[in-house]
Amino acid sequence: MGRLGRYVPASRRRDRVSSEAGPPVAGPKTRHRSAGRRVPSLRLPRSVASQVFLLQLGVVLLLIATAVLVLVIQDRNRAIHEAGDRSLVAAESFANAPGTAEAMESDDPTAALQPHAEVVRKKTGVDYVVALSPYGFRWTHPDPDQIGKHVSTSYGQALEGEPHQTTFDSSLGKAVDSTVAVFDEKGNAVGLVTVGVTVDKVTSVVQDQLPVIFAAGGVALLLAAGGSALVSGRLRRQTRGLGPVEMTRMYEHHDAVLHAVREGVIILDGDGRLLLVNDEARRLLALPPEAEGRPVTELGLSPALAELLGSGRAATDEVFLAGDTLLAVSVRPVVGPQGGSVATLRDTTELRALAGRADVAGGRLQLLYEASTRIGTTLDMERTAEELTEVAVPRFADFATVELAESVLQGGEPTGGSMELRRVATEGIRDDVPLYPVGRRMNYAPGNPVAIGMATGRPVLVADLALADGWRVQNPERARKVIEFGIHSMISVPLRARGQLLGVVEFWRSEQAPFEPDDLSPAEELAARAAVCIDNARRYTREHTTAVTLQRSLLPGALPELSALEVGHRYLPAQAGVGGDWYDVIPLPGARVALVVGDVVGHGLHAAATMGRLRTAVHNFAALDLPPDELLAHLDELITRIDQDAAAEGETESVTGATCLYAVYDPVSGRCVLARAGHPGPALVSPDGSVTFPDIPVAPPLGVGGGLPVETAVLRLAADSRLVLYTDGLVEARGRDIDTGLGMLSEALARTDGATPDDTCRAVLDAMLRTRSSDDVALLVARTRLLDPEQVEEWDVPDDPAAVSRIRAEATRRLESWGLGEAAFTTELILSELVTNAIRYGASPISVRLLRDGDSLICEVADGTSTSPHLRRAAFTDEGGRGLFLVAQMSRRWGTRYTDRGKIIWAEQALDAGGAGDLSGLLMADL
């Protein structure tokens, strides 16, 4: 019976039994419907045994297919391995053959090697034998047109003495390529030999095993057929000779009677599991579709009703509440070895009005429950207001509108009851409602119900808008349109949170019954829940705005225009808001430029503040002209001290994951020195458009280095090279590893040949960030320039004070050739002081360099000591000590930077009008 009860879906059973139908009457329509239901059974096996046989047949065929597939895969793998061995043996044999190395070192390797390579290829059965130069140019090939062309695959491993094998898909199918190096007597690689074999040339053995597999499958099918016959006979005995047609007819008669009765019927087994349930019982108990077979205690019934049905004891007309229905339940136990019970259910609900009130109360509770789960899903005030209106319409009101104070929308504190409001959300059952649209600024008159509610802090009910003079006075024409539209009542509830008024929400009804005083409570509850969420969003907006303002103030505004570089830059904040990614371009003495990109892991004020401290520290260290490795070492110590100070003050938030890449570019020599601490390395786009990722030694992230040394790398950049610095948010993303990201970046940069740095930034971001990134992205693209050699002049200075006059004279001649004769006097004074100090207090070698960079003239004097001069003011009675003071007064700026072999003292003069100034007063001041 349990199986029969589960056969017909409830939707079909309800179609057969209406609420006013009597007992089923057999007739033409009934017979026609039964025949229609039996049509699908004619297309399927009529007996269970036949169905079991088909299932077994499918399983056997699946096993055979699986076995064949496994054999094919194993044979394929074996063939690939054998092809690799064959190609490797052929390659090593040809490479180690006598005369191969001498032929590769000959004047015409192709003439010496091509015949032998073809002979080896034909005898060994391989697809090709190719000899290559150490630089990847072909000496031999089966296709003579390919000889002399370059091979783009990697053969670095083979040149180091390790055979290199690759498997690839060729036009002839999957193939294996083996590459080995050929060495001369001195152990130098003189060439390469690469041999390829297609996998299909290796003999397959699958066909030898297929007959065995098919024979075993046939035996299995015979056994399945015999088992199906035995099962069929056993089923005939258990059904007492009834066939499928007779069983179906008996089931249809029982099913029609069972589902036509007006009482619920439930049949349970001895363990309290549901065997059968008719449509009426399913409706009364609100049972799930697949209730049969489950214990009665798991059907969501009331504990008392579940206990009665599961106990199996006899009961008559015991009353239970199922949802909002009162049921009279009768239970009778079934006598027999299986046990069980049969229960009947009748709907005895007589107080329909009481049930209606319960339904209203339940609806309100459900409404408040949905409000708690659907309002406040984001920290966006306008979206939270929209969620409030979506929850209220249409379950509580036909239309709903929300206005918030302007100061609240900006994240500020509310200004009081007379504040200016702006409508931010509206929702309704129709779109043509004549209420004010979103974005409208609202100013309510004192007598308006909305203004009254805002002043008192209590909800206001207007049961009949046509009689509400205070509401109509606000805008008589608009009020007339609203009433003509059919809106007849409204409730206005102020949005208050933590004692502050944030705005107001209005609920309107047109199709539903007018609002009643009982509706004030749920309206107020909805507004209270939404107000707290809106206030949380307001506080978040205020903090987010503060953090964004802080971060924007800490990032550079307009980068300086430099003769050494043309720079493009982009910064994209993450979805989460403020982050710690940053970049900067810092001019250095000698026309050099420092490029820096950093990342502080995390988001919020702490990350932004830490980023600002790091950027300030980099500026300070760059002012000292520290090399990149020393600068990062100082940053590492700074982060360590920051963490120690935070721990001492009891702060739990420390700086973790701060990274930095620092590069110094010299446009005179094209030399670029880079160092990085835990940061992704740069990308380099050569003038020809090729993209590489230079190998820059990486140090631990800042703050976790533990005093470990930082290594640097030196690159020589040609003019019009593009150096691309970025943070990990550009190449890393959820579901994409960094190698994939670097490949995408390389492809994007390769498509920007000839583009400006700004266009390069735009193209890279369009290609890499299809959607908003979950992490901050900082991107800096610098196109290099080289100073014209005519703008640079250098002299070596002997360790002799008499050489000072010669240096002054040569400098004067160079300035006149540049058309800067007016600056010669100042330059002579600066060079005299700096060169004299270098000869007197320094050490050899001493050199002088003049740089003309835009509107600047830079004098540099280098010597072999690391002693730094100090500026001081000499007393009137002192005979010396005024030299550096004069240099400082005559220069725009001056300073000292240290090199590996000493120091450089530099002074920068302004070449614009009035740059040098009148020196007469300065010279007379100390006389």
Instruction: Give the contacts of 609 (CB within 8 A, at least 6 positions apart).
Output: 550
Instruction: Give the contacts of 795 (CB within 8 A, at least 6 positions apart).
Output: 807, 810, 847, 848, 849
Q: CA nearest 505: which of 386, 370, 406, 371?
A: 386
pLDDT value at position 326? 78
Q: Minimum mean pLDDT among 162-166, 337-341, 568-572, 586-590: which range?
A: 337-341
Query: What are 714's strand-pairing partners?
Result: 673
pLDDT value at position 726? 94
Query: What are 793's strand-pairing partners?
Result: 850
Q: Is 177 exposed, middle or buried (0-12, 13-18, 19+ CB in 10 A)?
A: buried
Q: What is the pLDDT confidence band of residue 17, given thresholds at 50, 70 and 90? A: very low
Query: What are 926's strand-pairing partners?
Result: none
Tell me how far apart the alpha carbons of residues 483 and 401 are, in angstroms, rounded to a whole number: 16
Instruction: Give the contacts of 227 (CB within 8 A, at least 6 positions apart).
Output: 52, 53, 56
Contact between 440 and 426 under an 8 Å Cβ cutoff? The reply is no
Q: Kindly state the tokens that stand for 250.
A: 């008996």
Where residue 680 falls (left for φ over 0; alpha for ψ -120 to 50; beta otherwise) is beta
Q: Kindly state the tokens that stand for 648.
A: 């001492």
Q: Minimum mean pLDDT among 575-584, 797-806, 863-872: which range?
A: 575-584
Contact between 670 and 716 under an 8 Å Cβ cutoff? The reply is yes
Predicted confidence (pLDDT) per residue in 34-86, tens digit: 333 444 444 555 566 666 667 777 777 787 778 777 777 777 777 778 878 88
- Strands 792-797 and 846-853, by their bridges, are antiparallel
Q: Minimum mean pLDDT among 329-338, 428-437, 707-716, 915-924: which range?
A: 915-924
Contact between 796 and 864 under an 8 Å Cβ cutoff? The reply is no
Q: Is the dihedral of CA 165, 169, 170, 175 positive or negative?
A: positive
Q: What is the pLDDT confidence band of residue 152, given thresholds at 50, 70 and 90? A: confident
Q: What is the 3-state secondary structure (H, E, C) of 379-434?
A: CCHHHHHHHHHHHHCCCCCCEEEEEEEHHHHCCCCCCCCCCCEEEEEEEECCCCCC
Contact between 687 and 643 under an 8 Å Cβ cutoff? The reply is no
In percent, how much of the chain has pLDDT > 90?
A: 20
Instruction: Compute the CA torsion angle 82, 83, 86, 92 (nearest 10 deg).
Output: -120
Residue with tokens 């800490």: 554
Contact between 833 and 886 under an 8 Å Cβ cutoff? The reply is yes
Give Cα separations from 621 to 613, 618, 626, 698, 707 (angstroms).
12, 5, 6, 20, 18
Q: Kindly state the tokens that stand for 518.
A: 């009982």
* Coil, helix or strand at residue 700: coil
Q: What integer is the mean pLDDT of 745-758? A: 92
Cis peptide preceding 700, ω within 30 of 0: no
Contact between 233 and 135 under an 8 Å Cβ cutoff? The reply is no
Side chain identity at residue 36, one-letter code: G
Contact between 421 and 407 under an 8 Å Cβ cutoff? The reply is no
Contact between 581 and 777 under an 8 Å Cβ cutoff? The reply is yes
Burial 130-152 (b: 16+ CB within 10 A, else e): bbbbbeeebbbbbeeeebeeebe
- Strands 341-347 and 325-333, by their bridges, are antiparallel
Q: What is the pLDDT confidence band of residue 243, given thresholds at 50, 70 and 90? A: low
Query: What are 320's strand-pairing partners?
Result: 327
Tell me how far apart the alpha carbons of residues 19 and 270 are, in angstroms, rounded to a whole number: 32
Residue with tokens 């003239």: 857
Contact between 635 and 621 under an 8 Å Cβ cutoff? The reply is yes
Instruction: Give the contacts of 275 (CB within 8 A, at least 6 positions apart).
Output: 1, 2, 5, 267, 268, 269, 292, 293, 340
Where residue 650 falls (left for φ over 0; alpha for ψ -120 to 50; beta otherwise) is left
Q: In this model, does residue 351 exceed pLDDT 70?
A: no
Q: What integer is the mean pLDDT of 806-826? A: 88
Helix 381-392 vs helix 520-554: crossing angle, to nearest 10: 160
The secondary element (H helix, E strand) that includes residue 909 is strand 902-910
The secondary element (H helix, E strand) that includes residue 221 is helix 206-238
pLDDT value at position 204? 52
Q: Kindly state the tokens that stand for 446.
A: 């004192």
* Coil, helix or strand at residue 507: strand
pLDDT value at position 289? 79
Q: Is the dihedral of CA 76, 77, 81, 82 positive or negative?
A: negative
Contact between 864 and 797 under an 8 Å Cβ cutoff? The reply is no
pLDDT value at position 446? 84
Tell me how far apart the alpha carbons of residues 350 and 754 are, in angstroms, rounded to a whole number: 86
Q: How many Cβ atoms from other residues are within 10 Å of residue 770's Cβ?
A: 8
Q: Kindly state the tokens that stand for 186.
A: 């001195």
Tell me how far apart the alpha carbons of residues 220 and 216 are, in angstroms, rounded to a whole number: 6
Residue with tokens 């290796």: 202
pLDDT value at position 16? 40
Side chain identity at residue 739, one-letter code: D
Q: Minimum mean pLDDT among 327-341, 518-532, 636-650: which range?
A: 636-650
Q: In this model, does residue 189 exceed pLDDT 90?
A: no
- Strands 698-699 and 671-677, by their bridges, are parallel
Q: In this model, does residue 226 exceed pLDDT 70?
A: yes
Q: What is the pLDDT confidence band of residue 674, given thresholds at 50, 70 and 90? A: very high
pLDDT value at position 93? 85
DSSP per-residue letters across 544-593: HHHHHHHHHHHS-SSPPP-SSEEEEEEEE-BTTB-EEEEEEEEE-STT-E
Q: How many Cα atoms are found within 13 Å in the side-chain-facing hemisphere of 542?
A: 11
Q: Is the dihedral of CA 912, 782, 555, 651 positive or negative?
A: negative
Phi and psi, residue 175, nearest 5°: -135, 160
CA angle 664, 742, 618 (to 5 degrees): 25
Cis peptide preceding 694, ω within 30 of 0: no
End-to-end CA distance of the chain: 124
Q: In this model, does residue 720 exceed pLDDT 90?
A: yes
Predicted confidence (pLDDT) per residue in 358-376, tens digit: 566 667 677 777 877 888 8
Longest dimension (CA), the chain: 137
* Coil, helix or strand at residue 533: helix
Contact between 922 and 887 under an 8 Å Cβ cutoff? The reply is no
Q: What integer is the mean pLDDT of 315-336? A: 81
Query: What are 405's strand-pairing partners?
Result: 421
Candidate ranges 555-559, 803-807, 915-919; pick with highest mean pLDDT:
803-807
Instruction: For the chain, count helices (H), then strands (E).
Output: 26, 31
- Strands 659-666 and 315-322, by their bridges, are unpaired
Residue with tokens 């008192």: 456
Tell me how far apart the alpha carbons of residues 707 and 334 are, in angstroms, rounded to a whole number: 85
Tell me how far apart the alpha carbons of residues 483 and 467 are, in angstroms, rounded to a whole number: 10
Higher confidence at residue 303 or residue 354?
303
pLDDT value at position 489? 93
Tell me how far apart the alpha carbons of residues 754 and 689 are, in angstroms, rounded to a whole number: 8
Within 634-670, strands assigned E span 659-666
Predicted confidence (pLDDT) per residue in 831-864, tens digit: 888 888 888 888 889 999 998 888 889 999 999 8
Mean pLDDT of the chain: 80
Phi and psi, residue 515, nearest 5°: -60, 145
Q: Kindly state the tokens that stand for 498.
A: 């933590």
Q: In this model, does residue 7 exceed pLDDT 60?
A: no
Tell me how far apart the alpha carbons of residues 601 and 599 are, in angstroms, rounded to a whole number: 6
